[in-house]
A and B are shown apart, each in its own frame.
Chain A
C-alpha cells in the first residue's frame, strides 16, 4: 500500500495532516557559489534589446546579400555589440544579455506576441489561434518573474521586465520584421495546406499547444563542444578558409556561403569574448581587493587565450564550453539545449590537471558549483503560453551522467561524482541531471546518484540506458547509427532521447573518445496533442463544447460500442497529425531559409565536413521530428471508464455521460474555485444529481494498479500510436516518432478540457508525464504502478515519463538508500525508460504555496525538470501537491 495513513487518501490525492518532514540537513555550497546564488535569488528576469537592435540594423543594411551570409553578418553584429557584464566573484563569465537573468526578443522568429494587445500584429496572431494557450496559462507569481509593470519597468508575458526607455525601440525593431519573420512567412505559406482551417481550430481549442517552427525551433538536443575544445576558434576559422578554397566554383556552391557564414559568426563570437576580456581588465584596474583583482586578471588572460586557441586546462575548457553553449542560445529561441555528458567530455582536461597538480577536488567542486549558477541564470524569452504553459520558466539544460563508453564499459568517472556532489551542495534547477542507468555502472556511483536524488532536488532523473539505445538503433539505424555510436547518446531537453557521436579529442598525443550530440533538435513537429480533449471532441462528434466551435467534421459513428469510440478517436487523432505535420514542415522550412542555424551547425558533426547547415541536413542524424502528446493517463482512464460503465455494465448511456460532462458532474469550475487539482474542487447546488455517475466514473479501474482491464487500453494505445507516428514525414523526409512527455502542458491543456469520463473535473490539471498515475488513483503501491507502466515496450517511443512523490522518511539513512536504489532498479529492469522523484512532504508544498516568500529556494520536480516552487504557475503547483505520496515501499 502506498501509505501508512490510508484514511487521508481520497479520490483526488492526499491530505496529510501530521507534522511536516523535511529532507534532512542540506549541505551548503562554497561561499563563492553561495554569494552568486543569493544574487541570483534577488535578480528578476530582464530583457534587453541590444542584440536584436544590432542584428536588425545589420540585416537591413545588407539587402540583396546571400541569405545565410546576411544572417551571419547580423549575428556577428549582435555578438560584437553585447555589453559585457561580469559579476563579482565569478570564475566563469559571459551570458546571453547584459543582465544576470538576461534574454531578448528575436523578432526575426516571431514578433507578434510581445506587441501591444491593440496592435494589428497581435490581433492577427490571436485570430489564427497562436496565442490561445497564453490565455489558459498561469505564471508563477514569485521568484524572478516580473509579473506586473511598475515605474520604469514593463512586464512582458508575465515574466520578463523591460526598461520603459527600451520599449518604443523594441516595438520599432519588431515592426521591421512584419511579413519577414519566420512566423509571418511560415503563416503565409502554411495556409496553402489543404484543410488549413482545421489546424487553426486545433490551435484555438488548444488541442495543439504551439507551433515549433518559430517559437522554439532549436533545442531538445545535445550540444557538441568537440571542435572548439580540439581546434579553438581560430582553428575552426582556418578550417573553413581551407574548405572554401576546396569548393569555391565547384558544383554544390551553397557550401562556400555556409563556410563564409561560419567564419563571420565566429568573428562575432571572438569579438564578444575579447570585449569580456577587456571588461575583466577594466574591473581589475579599479579593484582594491587583492584576490578579486587577481581573479579578474586571470579571467582576462583566459578569455583572451580562448578567443583564439583551444583550452589549456579544465578551467579553460569549462569556460569554453559555457561560451559556446550561450552562443548557440543567442542564435535562436531555444529551450532544452542540453550540455550532454559534460563529465566525460571534460574528463581528459580534468584528469591531466589533477595529475599535474593544477587543480584539486575542492577547487573542482567550486568550479562545478559556479557552472550550476551560470546554467541557472539562463532564461528563454518566449510567449506566456510557451514560457509558462510549456516550460514553467525552465530552460532544460540536461547534464547526463553514467552510461557506457565507446567500448561498452562503464562511462562513470570521478569527475561525474564531483558533478553529483555539486548538485547536492549547490542545488539549483540547472543543469538538471540525468543518470543513464546501466547494469555495468559501479554501485558507488549509483549510490552517489541516490544520495543526490534523496536531497529533494528532483535530480538526477533515472534513465534506462539500454532502452534508449534500442530506440536509437530503431530510429536512426537507417541513417547508419550502429551499436557503438548508440552508446554516445544523451538526453536533450527534459527527456528527449538524442543520438550522439564519439569524437577523437587529442590531448598530449593521446586520443580520448568523447561523446557529443550529433543531431539537430530532436523534438520539433507536432507539439503537444491534448489526448483527453480529443476524446471529448469524439464524444461530441467533432465539436469543442467549451467554445462551441466545430473542430472536425462529424466522425460518422453512432458510438454504439467501444470499438467505435476507439476508431473515431484514432480517426481524429490521425487527422490532427496530418494537418499539423504539414503546417509545421512549412514553418520549419521558413525557419531554415530565414534564420538558419550557424553556431549550432558549426558544432554538430558532420555540418563542417559536408558544408551544410542543420536545416540542410548537415548533421549526421536527421530523423528528428516527432509527435508529442499530453494527458495519456487521463485518456486511458476515461476510455476504461466508458468501456466499463457504458459498454460492459451498461450503467449509463453515452448521452447520460455527455450531460454529466457538460454539467461538470455538478461541481463548480476550476476557475471558480481557483484551484486546478481535484483535491480542492467544490460541489455545486445540483451535485446530488450527478453524484452516482461521478462516483462510478471514479470507481472504474484506473491505470497504475496492475489491472489488465485498463492497462491493456494503454498497451493498445501505445502500440498503435508508436507505429502510426512513423506514417508522417518530416521536413527532412524522414519518418516521425512518438514523444511522450508533458513538460508543463498538462496545466493549460487541462484548463481547456471539460470533465472526463474518468471523473476528472473541468479545467483541472491532467496527470503529468505519460505513465504517471493520476493523483490519488494508484492505490496498490509502487510495484503495481511499475507493472502498469511497463505493459508496453518503451523503446518504441522517444521516451516515457514517470514521476513519483516519496515521503522523505521512507528513504532515510543508508538502509533507505539501498531500498531506494532497488526500487529504481526494479522499474528499469522491467523496461521502464525513466523515473524521477520528488522526495518531499506534501505539507511543506502547501505551506510554500501559502507563504512563498519563506520558500524562495525550494525546488520541486515537475515533469522532466526541476524548478523553484515560487516560479511555477498555480496549475502545476496544485498538481504536484496532489500527487500520490508514497510513505512506504
Chain B
C-alpha cells in the first residue's frame, strides 16, 4: 500500500498549490500531510486499472495515452479502481 496524503482525499478542498481545507474538519491543511483515519481516497489516475506508470510523474492510460498519476479522475467515465493499490 503506497503512502497517501491529504491531496489524495475526497474531503480535500484545494485553495492553492500550498494548502487546502478539510471538508470535514474545516481546518486548513497541507496537501502533503499524511491521510488521516477519516480520509477517503479520491479517484486518481494512479489508482485506476487503466493506468501504467512509466517514469516519475508520468504514465499511460490504456497503454497508449499520456497520463499522469496525480490527476483527479472522479469525472473520468473510464475510471476503475485498481484493487492492488
Contacts and interface: CB of A to CB of B under 8 A. Distances in A.
Contacts of B19: 42
B26 A53 contact: no
Interface stretch (A65-73, A79-87, A112-120, A831-839): A79-87
A169 B72 contact: no
B37 interface: no
Interface stretch (A98-106, A330-338, A850-858): A98-106
A101 B24 CA distance: 22
Nearest to A162: B17
B14 A152 contact: no
Contacts of A45: 16
B14 A44 contact: no
A538 B13 CA distance: 57
A94 B56 CA distance: 32
Contacts of A88: 21, 26
B51 interface: no
B16 A50 contact: no
Contact of A50 (B57, B58, B71): B71
A17 interface: no
B1 interface: no
B14 A169 contact: no
A172 B69 CA distance: 14
Contacts of A101: 16
Nearest to A56: B66
A53 B73 CA distance: 12
B12 to A, nearest CB: 10
Given A172-B58, A275-B75, A161 B16 contact: yes
Contacts of B58: 168-169, 172
Nearest to B58: A168
Contacts of B70: 163, 165-166
Contact of A57 (B13, B18, B65): B65
Contacts of B66: 57, 169, 172-173, 176
B56 A168 contact: yes
A44 B16 contact: yes
Given A83-B75, A88-B21, A165 B15 contact: no
Contact of B18 (A44, A80, A165): A44
A146 interface: yes
B71 A53 contact: yes
Interface string B7-33: 000010111111101011010100110
Nearest to A152: B32
Interface in A42-69: 42-47, 50, 53, 57
A483 interface: no
A161 B18 contact: yes
A39 B57 contact: no
A545 interface: no
B68 interface: yes
Given A168-B57, A169-B57, A173-B66, A99 B16 contact: yes
Contact of B57 (A87, A100, A167): A167
Given A88-B26, A165-B70, A80 B16 contact: no
B76 interface: yes
Contacts of A247: none
Contact of B16 (A43, A81, A164): A43
A557 B18 CA distance: 59
Contacts of A168: 55-58, 68
Contacts of B17: 44, 46-47, 99, 146, 152-153, 161-163
A695 to B, nearest CB: 51
B82 interface: no
A83 B15 contact: no
A50 B14 CA distance: 14
Given A88-B21, A99-B17, A153-B17, A169 B68 contact: yes
A290 to B, nearest CB: 15
Given A83-B72, A286-B23, A153 B18 contact: yes
Contacts of A810: none
Nearest to B19: A42
Contacts of A82: 75
Contacts of A39: 15
Taking chain A's interface residues, is the majority helix, strand, or loop, or is none over half, making it mixed? mixed
Interface string A641-680: 0000000000000000000000000000000000000000
A9 interface: no
A283 interface: yes
B36 to A, nearest CB: 15
Nearest to B66: A172
Interface string A706-727: 0000000000000000000000
Given A99-B17, A100-B15, A101-B16, A165 B69 contact: yes
A50 B23 contact: no
B6 to A, nearest CB: 12
Contacts of B14: 46, 85, 98-99
A522 B57 CA distance: 42
A81 B15 contact: no
B71 A169 contact: yes
Contacts of A286: 11, 23-24
Choose among B21, B31, B75 the residue with the greatest number of A CB atoms under 10 Å from its CB.
Answer: B75
Choose among B15, B16, B32 the residue with the greatest number of A CB atoms under 10 Å from its CB.
Answer: B16
A87 B20 CA distance: 10
Contacts of A167: 57
A161 B58 CA distance: 19
A505 B36 CA distance: 52
B28 to A, nearest CB: 8
B50 to A, nearest CB: 13
Contacts of A163: 17, 31, 70
B68 A166 contact: yes
Interface in B44-85: 55-58, 65-72, 74-76
Nearest to B56: A168
Nearest to A144: B16
B78 to A, nearest CB: 11
A837 B16 CA distance: 33
Contacts of B67: 169
A160 to B, nearest CB: 9
B18 A81 contact: no
Contacts of B55: 168
Contacts of A173: 66
Nearest to B46: A165
A176 to B, nearest CB: 8
Interface string A166-210: 111100110010000000000000000000000000000000000
Contacts of A153: 17-18
A165 B57 contact: yes
A83 B71 CA distance: 10
Contacts of B11: 286
B76 A81 contact: yes
B13 A81 contact: no
Choose among A80, A169, A173 the residue with the greatest number of B CB atoms under 10 Å from its CB.
Answer: A169
A696 B21 CA distance: 61
Interface string A262-298: 0000000000000100000001001000000000000
Contacts of A283: 23
A99 B15 contact: yes
A16 to B, nearest CB: 38
Nearest to B12: A85
Contacts of B72: 50, 83, 98
A253 B68 CA distance: 40
B13 to A, nearest CB: 6
Contacts of B18: 44, 153, 161
Q: Which 6 A-B pairs have the closest CB atoms?
A: A169-B68, A161-B17, A44-B16, A46-B16, A165-B70, A46-B17
13 contacts: A39-B15, A44-B18, A46-B16, A81-B75, A86-B13, A153-B18, A161-B16, A163-B17, A166-B68, A166-B71, A168-B68, A169-B68, A286-B23
Interface of B: 11, 13-19, 21, 23-24, 26, 28, 31-32, 55-58, 65-72, 74-76
